[in-house]
Amino acid sequence: MFSVRDDINEAVGRRWRALDPMLPAPRDLPEGCMAPLVVTGQNGRPAAVGVCRHLHVPDDALEQVWGTTTRLVLTPRLREPDNHAALDELLGRWREHLADLPAADHHETTATIDWPSRDVSGVNALLKHGMQAITVLAVRPAGRAIQATDTEPPAGVVIREARPDDLDAVMEMELGVIRFDAHFGAAIMRPSAEALVRDATRKALARRPAWAWVAERDGRLAGLVHVQPPDESVWIAGKTRPGTTAYLQTMFVGADERGGGLGAALVKRAHDELDARGISITLLHYAQMNPLSAPFWSRMGYRPLWTGWESRPAAALR
Ligand SMILES: CC(C)(COP(=O)(O)OP(=O)(O)OC[C@H]1O[C@@H](n2cnc3c(N)ncnc32)[C@H](O)[C@@H]1OP(=O)(O)O)[C@@H](O)C(=O)NCCC(=O)NCCS
């Protein structure tokens, strides 16, 4: 039977295709914690549907550093090109639902929505309800050139594959990104982070061919770019159109080496390898308020695809 969900998904698919060719077709709505919230438009048809899910990040998951442990996630589908009124009402209804949850004012909860970055008509409703743009999922279709006068490594620096015996230095750089992004609400440095990062890094450095590259100066590591291969990027690949998708999980240059072209040289090396391996789309996250990230990634050929909006704690949703 053709349901309200299918009907609205079709309309949303048409809107998304027109808004941004890098968006996927909208997936079936997930099962929620209750029946979907439905906002009826003036013509009597559903103008908005939203499904709320309550996600708990386990203690032993590295994902713990990328946000609160409890995430109340709304998956919205908005039919109309100008969706301010429908989204405003949907968020009001969601707020009433969250207000019934005793845990919603705990600092480890967020109310969160992933919103297509180019769907600008929803932004004022998200702001009105007290949400903040915290993260950006950015996309680069293969072949987009880096804008830099020079992508050679700075003098005295060698870029090479990361090896298992780089573990301590690579781990320090992985932690460096978490520490840096913690300034912008995108990461939370946790006591368990070191052990979790060490474990994940050890596994990542054992991959062959390598998917991580480091910059070395005088025997010391000065920078890192680390990519998840397509089979490990499945968790995020559905956020973009079908392709062979890889996820760039870490980019770090030591503070004393920044601004000298090392970042661009590392990304150039990674892109050359990804192109040669048939990767058609690369995704990455950056913190919306990280002043170094957005301009850097734009010059590297990436642009916003999804914006991660949050209210923290969840009860802060207005
Ligand atoms: C983001 C980051 C990786 C960029 O690395 P980087 O080595 O500084 O990058 P580049 O040197 O290639 O480019 C950065 C700036 O230096 C300038 N630059 C590039 N080559 C240069 C050169 N040869 N001489 C002087 N400046 C240069 C660029 O124009 C750019 O300037 P602008 O963006 O301020 O206009 C680095 O700042 C970093 O690790 N930050 C902390 C962690 C972080 O934010 N990681 C990204 C998380 S998503």
User: How far does the centroid of ligand 1 lie from the alpha carbon of residue 194, in Å?
Assistant: 26
pLDDT recorded at residue 78: 95
Ligand 1: residues with CB < 6 A are 150, 177, 180, 251-253, 258-264, 286, 290, 292-293, 295-296
Indicate the burial class of 233 (C-beta count within 10 angstroms; 0-12, 13-18, 19 or more).
Answer: buried
pLDDT at residue 102, as a whole number = 86
Residue 71 has what pLDDT?
Answer: 98
pLDDT at residue 1 in the model: 40
Ligand 1 closest atom vs CA 296? 33
Distance 66 CA to ligand 1 centre (A): 23
The alpha carbon of 20 and the centre of ligand 1 are apart by a number of angstroms equal to: 28
Residue 19's Cβ-side half-sphere holds a number of Cα atoms within 13 Å equal to 26
Ranges of the chain with pLDDT below 70 = 1-2
- From the alpha carbon of 263, which atom of ligand 1 is closest? 7
For a pocket test of ligand 1, which of 292, 297, 299, 302 has the largest count of ligand atoms closer than 8 A to its C-beta?
292
| Alpha-carbon gap, residue 304 to 300, rounded angstroms | 13
CA 205 to chain CA mean position, Å = 23
206 burial level (CB within 10 Å; 0-12, 13-18, 19+)? exposed
Q: How far is the CA of 21 from the centre of ligand 1 (A)?
A: 29
pTM listed for this prediction: 0.96
| Dihedral sign, Cα of residue 187, residue 189, residue 190, residue 194 | positive
For position 252, what pLDDT does the model report? 98
CA of 52 from ligand 1 middle (Å) equals: 39
